[in-house]
């Protein structure tokens, strides 16, 4: 897609070297990456406004309360950032394998398994110093989630099983395992109405960033996204991954270990989602129960696609979508919209973003004269 | 609980009855997806279509008093979602798998949104035919209360099998799926063929959804479908895009899904959640056994993005 956008620029330079391409033409490709998803977002918001208007609500009220609930006050900002942190991590679960041309949509499953293994690590080490427990929880979450998605990658590579379908099936299997353990061997006898595991202990929670109500999970997410960006765009490993994603046969001919690449990337992807599960346990819930299946894994897919699978772009997009989900409560209270309206909006955004893929390289004023 | 007279026979009987009841949505969705995939496109959004179908069928049945109108409404809703999928996919450079994921989220979200007021009221259900009138045992009678929709689905499988082989439409769909160049050379629009195939697929998936809300489990709530749509899509792959194999696979799946509730009814409650996950585990296991990295699957439409 980049080359197509850049071609007209090159052509202009070759034909008329005197006429320097303007700023818009020189940066056409990068501007497109911001402009087109932005336009898709505005289009989706407009359609959602019409949808809400059909139910007799004022779309302007809708936009106002969405802004208020997402970014209007310091309180909303904190709510937004808290929701953004698991989204950054689950989005990486889709974005990293996408570099290899794989479509993994099982972040929710890795999140649940990560939460479960992090909780198990914490419960097994009760009595140890909090820092030891927290490190063990991070390791547990990353390894649990990582192995879960590595399973999808391995099945694709060694058995030819489609990774999109297998990763989604694994979500339902993960949920069943979680329910089975939480209502069985790991159940805290004191949790009557809502079967849960025992609590990891208040001292072992990772807590909030000083001066805010935003937990440290946000920092985990930022570090993970930046590391992923450096890994993909500034290391030999990432270069190899992108070569294999572009042309798998060429990658094999130049001697890249494609199997190893796929398994490693899948492990890292699942590890990110597993870390999201660990964060939800260690910073929000304090234990594992069915509440963890809150759909962060599925919204993460949308974040990854909207960010065009770029790990750095995931950060602002996750904050944006975290804001949309944070505003859901206010929309419910002030406008009487059902809680599913956030889901509808997410679906519309997703549809618009995918349809806007057709626009790359076709935006007239970015192409230069022809 | 077992009433003593038939004891543990309750389990196979309940699995049999469950296989027939639970398999119906699998059957409709997989037959619909079979048509779509044969035309060379995969629609992962059928999970959303299924839920939308269930919601609209329940709503229309409640408002009109006629469950059959509800079934029709579910089909039309499904066809519209199919048209949306095909419409976006016909734009250049748009990935059909990603569009499917988007429509999965969109369909479920929209169904939850519109279906909020439908959780309370009771809508008229689809009637069932009593094939167990000859028996005195209540479990046998329960197992043999078979819905007309199941029979329609069973009849549809051989009809589709025949249609793919011998009719002009079947040939066109297969041509579009095997080689879009060939279809174009014959003067047909591949996009139009795929649009129609996706709409018919959505129509059938919507009807599958109506069965969920109007017969079994027979009510509308947000936990109605948990992955049946996506399981059915996977089912088409190991049914080798053959409608008759879709029928047998759906029955096997229905049986697997009925195992958990059946065991629970005789008092086996441990591992309930694991038994409920049986269809997903079964799908994954069969895919692991039947797929191979060395060759594309036999019977796979050559234009399909997941097999290339």
Cα–Cα distance, A115 to A9 (Å, whole number): 49
The answer to whether residue B6 scores a pLDDT higher than 90 is no
Residue A118: how many other CB atoms lie within 10 Å: 32
Any A CB within 8 A of B119 CB? no
Tokens 């000083």 belong to A210
- Comparison of pLDDT for A93 and B3, the residue scoring more: A93
List A residues 73-132 in contact with B (Cβ-Cβ < 8 A). 103, 105
Cα–Cα distance, A282 to A118 (Å, whole number): 8
Rounded mean pLDDT, B193-197 = 96
* pLDDT given for residue B245 in this prediction: 93
Chain B residues in contact with A176 (beta carbon < 8 A): 273-274, 276-277, 280
B209 near B51, Cβ under 8 Å? yes
Probe site for chain B from A357, A359, A360, A361 (most B CB atoms < 10 A): A357
A344 near B113, Cβ under 8 Å? yes
Over residues B44-64, the pLDDT tens digits come to 999 999 999 999 999 999 999
Nearest residue of A to residue B293, measured between CA atoms: A160
Distance (Å) from the alpha carbon of A10 to chain B's nearest alpha carbon = 22
Residue of B37, B36, B82, B27 lying closest to B231 (CA atoms): B27
Look up the ipTM and state it: 0.89
* pLDDT given for residue A17 in this prediction: 47
The answer to whether residue B1 scores a pLDDT higher than 50 is no
**Which residues of chain A, if any, have pLDDT below 70?**
1-21, 364-370
Number of domains in chain A: 1
Cα–Cα distance, A79 to A214 (Å, whole number): 7
Chain A residues in contact with B101 (beta carbon < 8 A): 103, 105, 164, 301, 350
Kindly report which listed range (A312-316, A330-334, B8-12, B107-111) carries the lowest average pLDDT score: B8-12
Chain A residues in contact with B231 (beta carbon < 8 A): 169
Cα–Cα distance, A198 to A187 (Å, whole number): 7
Residue B204's contacts (CB-CB under 8 Å, 6 or more residues apart) are: B28, B29, B31, B32, B35, B75, B78, B156
Q: How does DSSP assign chain B, residue by residue?
A: ---SSSGGGHHHHHHHHHHHHHHHHHHHHHHHHHHHHHTT---TTHHHHHHHHHHHHHHHHHHHS-HHHHHHHHHHHHHHHHHHHHHHHTSTT--HHHHHHHHHHHHHHHHHHHHGGGSSS-PPPPPEEES-TT---HHHHHHTEEEHHHHHHHHHHHHHHHHHHHSHHHHHHHHHHH-HHHHHHTT--HHHHHHHHHHHHHHHHHHHHHHHHHTSS-S--TTS-SSHHHHHHHHHHHTTT-HHHHHHHHHHHHHHHHHHHHHHHTT--TTHHHHHTHHHHHHHHHHHHH--SSSPPTT--TT-TTT-
Any A CB within 8 A of B288 CB? yes
List A residues 330-349 in contact with B (Cβ-Cβ < 8 A). 338, 340-348
Is A24 part of any domain?
Answer: no
Torsion of CA B250, B252, B256, B261, to 10 degrees: 70
- Establish how many alpha carbons lie within 13 A of residue B100's alpha carbon, considering only the half-sphere containing its beta carbon: 26
B39 near B197, Cβ under 8 Å? yes
Any B CB within 8 A of A47 CB? no
Is A141 part of any domain?
Answer: yes
Is A25 part of any domain?
Answer: no
- Comparison of pLDDT for B245 and A16, the residue scoring more: B245
Q: B277 vs A340: CB contact, 8 Å cut-off? A: no
Query: How many CB pairs below 8 Å do chains A and B form together?
Result: 146
Average pLDDT, chain B: 88
Any B CB within 8 A of A184 CB? yes
Is A5 part of any domain?
Answer: no
Tokens of B60: 């229309």
Q: B287 vs A172: CB contact, 8 Å cut-off? A: no
The answer to whether residue B5 scores a pLDDT higher than 60 is no
* pLDDT given for residue A368 in this prediction: 52
Over residues B273-282, the pLDDT tens digits come to 888 888 889 8
- Strand-pair partners of B146: B129
Nearest residue of A to residue B284, measured between CA atoms: A166
* pLDDT given for residue B293 in this prediction: 77
Chain A residues in contact with B284 (beta carbon < 8 A): 161, 166, 169-170, 173
- Read off the DSSP letter of residue A198: P
User: Cβ-count burial of A113 within 10 angstroms (0-12 exposed, 13-18 middle, 19+ buried)?
Assistant: buried
Categorize the per-residue pLDDT at B65 as very low, low, confident or very high, splitting at 50, 70 and 90: very high
User: Could you tell me the residue range of the domain that residue A282 belongs to?
Assistant: 43-49+56-203+210-355
- Read off the DSSP letter of residue A289: B
Nearest residue of B to residue A337, measured between CA atoms: B113
The answer to whether residue B7 scores a pLDDT higher than 80 is no
Residue of B288, B94, B182 lying closest to A165 (CA atoms): B288
Is A2 part of any domain?
Answer: no
Percent of all residues in chain B with a pLDDT value above 70, rounded to a whole number: 96
Residue A352's contacts (CB-CB under 8 Å, 6 or more residues apart) are: A40, A41, A43, A44, A47
Cα–Cα distance, A13 to A26 (Å, whole number): 10
Chain A residues in contact with B110 (beta carbon < 8 A): 340, 343-344, 347
* pLDDT given for residue B54 in this prediction: 95
Q: A169 vs B105: CB contact, 8 Å cut-off? A: no
Residue of B230, B16, B281, B284 lying closest to B142 (CA atoms): B16
* pLDDT given for residue B22 in this prediction: 87
Chain B residues in contact with A338 (beta carbon < 8 A): 112-113, 116
Determine the angle formed by the axes of helices B148-166 and B243-265, rounding to 10 degrees. Answer: 160
| Backbone phi, psi, residue B171, to 5° | -65, -45
Chain B residues in contact with A180 (beta carbon < 8 A): 271-274
Residue of B242, B198, B232 lying closest to B87 (CA atoms): B198
Residue B132: how many other CB atoms lie within 10 Å: 18
Domains, chain B, ordered by start: 7-290 (1.10.3470)
Distance (Å) from the alpha carbon of B100 to chain A's nearest alpha carbon = 9
Categorize the per-residue pLDDT at B307 as very low, low, confident or very high, splitting at 50, 70 and 90: low
Is A315 part of any domain?
Answer: yes
Chain A residues in contact with B108 (beta carbon < 8 A): 343, 347
Any B CB within 8 A of A229 CB? no
User: Cβ-count burial of A139 within 10 angstroms (0-12 exposed, 13-18 middle, 19+ buried)?
Assistant: middle
Any A CB within 8 A of B105 CB? yes
Chain A residues in contact with B98 (beta carbon < 8 A): 103, 305, 354
* pLDDT given for residue B240 in this prediction: 86
Chain B residues in contact with A157 (beta carbon < 8 A): 293
Rounded mean pLDDT, B222-226 = 82
Q: A358 vs B108: CB contact, 8 Å cut-off? A: no
Identify the three-state secondary structure at position A153.
helix
Distance (Å) from the alpha carbon of B165 to chain A's nearest alpha carbon = 27
Any B CB within 8 A of A166 CB? yes
| Backbone phi, psi, residue B128, to 5° | -120, 155
Is A312 part of any domain?
Answer: yes
- Of residues B97, B102, B273, nearest to A179 (C-beta): B273
Chain A residues in contact with B273 (beta carbon < 8 A): 176-177, 179-180, 183
Q: B280 vs A176: CB contact, 8 Å cut-off? A: yes
* pLDDT given for residue B3 in this prediction: 47
CATH of the domain at A92: 1.10.3470
Q: How does DSSP assign A290-336, residue by residue?
A: GGG-SSHHHHHHHHHHHTTT-HHHHHHHHHHHHHHHHTHHHIIIII-
Cα–Cα distance, B97 to A170 (Å, whole number): 18
Is A361 part of any domain?
Answer: no
Chain A residues in contact with B288 (beta carbon < 8 A): 155, 159, 161
| Cα separations in angstroms, B31 against B34, B42, B96, B200 | 5, 13, 19, 10
Any A CB within 8 A of B271 CB? yes
- Strand-pair partners of B147: B128
- Output the pTM of the full model: 0.88
Distance (Å) from the alpha carbon of A202 to chain B's nearest alpha carbon = 30
Chain B residues in contact with A40 (beta carbon < 8 A): none
List B residues 126-185 in contact with A (Cβ-Cβ < 8 A). none
Q: Helices (DSSP H) in chain A: which residue ranges? A: 2-15, 23-26, 28-54, 59-67, 74-98, 107-124, 130-159, 163-182, 217-234, 236-246, 248-253, 258-279, 296-306, 311-326, 328-330, 341-355
Nearest residue of B to residue A174, measured between CA atoms: B277
């Amino acid at each position: 897609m980049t080359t197509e956008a850049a071609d007209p620029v090159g052509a202009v330079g070759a034909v008329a070297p005197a006429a320097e391409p303007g700023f818009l033409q020189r940066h056409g490709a990068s501007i497109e990456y911001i402009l087109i998803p932005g336009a898709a977002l505005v289009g989706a918001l407009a359609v959602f406004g019409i949808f809400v208007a059909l139910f007799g609500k004022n779309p302007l009220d809708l936009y106002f309360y969405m802004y208020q609930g997402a970014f209007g006050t310091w309180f909303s900002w904190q709510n937004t950032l808290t929701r953004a942190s698991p989204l950054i991590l689950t989005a990486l679960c889709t974005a990293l394998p996408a570099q290899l041309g794989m479509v993994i949509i099982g972040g929710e499953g890795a999140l649940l398994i990560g939460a479960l293994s992090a909780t198990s690590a914490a419960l097994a080490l009760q009595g140890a110093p909090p820092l030891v427990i927290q490190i063990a929880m991070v390791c547990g979450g990353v390894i649990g989630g990582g192995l879960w998605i590595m399973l999808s990658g391995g099945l694709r590579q060694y058995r030819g099983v489609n990774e999109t379908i297998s990763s989604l099936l694994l979500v339902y299997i993960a949920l069943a395992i979680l329910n089975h353990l939480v209502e069985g061997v790991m159940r805290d006898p004191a949790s009557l109405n809502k079967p849960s595991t025992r609590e990891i202990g208040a001292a072992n929670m990772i807590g909030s960033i000083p001066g805010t109500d935003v937990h440290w999970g946000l920092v985990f997410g930022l570090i993970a996204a930046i590391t992923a960006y450096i890994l993909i765009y500034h290391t030999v490993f990432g270069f190899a991954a992108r070569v294999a994603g572009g042309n798998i046969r060429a990658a094999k001919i130049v001697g890249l270990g494609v199997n190893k690449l796929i398994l490693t990337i899948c492990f890292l992807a699942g590890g990110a989602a597993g870390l999201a599960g660990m964060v939800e346990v260690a910073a929000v819930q304090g234990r594992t129960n069915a509440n963890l299946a809150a759909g962060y894994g599925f919204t993460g897919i949308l974040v990854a696609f909207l960010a065009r699978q770029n790990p750095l772009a995931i950060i602002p997009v996750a904050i944006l979508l975290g804001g949309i989900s944070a505003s859901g409560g206010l929309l419910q209270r002030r406008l009487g919209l059902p809680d599913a309206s956030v889901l509808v909006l997410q679906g519309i955004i997703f549809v618009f973003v995918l349809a806007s893929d057709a626009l790359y390289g076709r935006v007239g004023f970015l192409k230069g004269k022809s | 609980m077992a009433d003593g007279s038939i004891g543990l026979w309750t389990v196979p009987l309940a699995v049999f009855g469950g296989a027939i009841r639970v398999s119906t949505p699998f059957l409709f969705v997989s037959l619909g997806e079979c048509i779509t995939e044969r035309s060379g496109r995969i629609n992962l959004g059928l999970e959303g279509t299924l839920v939308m179908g269930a919601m609209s069928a329940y709503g229309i049945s409640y408002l009109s008093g006629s469950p059959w109108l509800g079934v029709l409404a579910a089909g039309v809703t499904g066809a519209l979602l199919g048209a949306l999928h095909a419409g976006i996919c016909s734009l250049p450079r748009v990935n059909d798998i990603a569009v499917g994921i988007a429509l999965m989220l969109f369909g479920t979200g929209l169904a939850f949104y519109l279906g909020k007021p439908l959780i309370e009221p009771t809508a008229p259900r689809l009637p069932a035919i009593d094939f167990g009138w000859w028996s005195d045992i209540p479990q046998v009678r329960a197992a043999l209360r078979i819905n007309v929709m199941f029979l329609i689905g069973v009849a549809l499988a051989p009809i589709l099998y025949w249609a793919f082989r011998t009719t002009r439409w079947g040939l066109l769909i297969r041509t579009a799926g095997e080689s879009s160049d060939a279809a174009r050379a014959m003067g047909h629009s591949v996009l139009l063929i795929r649009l129609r195939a996706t709409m018919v697929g959505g129509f059938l998936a919507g009807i599958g959804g109506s069965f969920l809300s109007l017969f079994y489990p027979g009510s509308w709530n947000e936990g109605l479908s948990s992955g049946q749509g996506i399981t059915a899509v996977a089912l088409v792959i190991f049914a080798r895009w053959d409608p008759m194999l879709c029928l047998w696979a759906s029955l096997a799946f229905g049986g697997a899904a009925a195992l958990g509730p059946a065991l629970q009814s005789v008092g086996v409650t441990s591992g309930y959640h694991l038994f409920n996950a049986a269809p997903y585990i079964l799908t994954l296991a069969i895919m692991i056994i039947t797929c191979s990295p060395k060759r594309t699957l036999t019977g796979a439409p050559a234009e399909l993005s997941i097999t290339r």
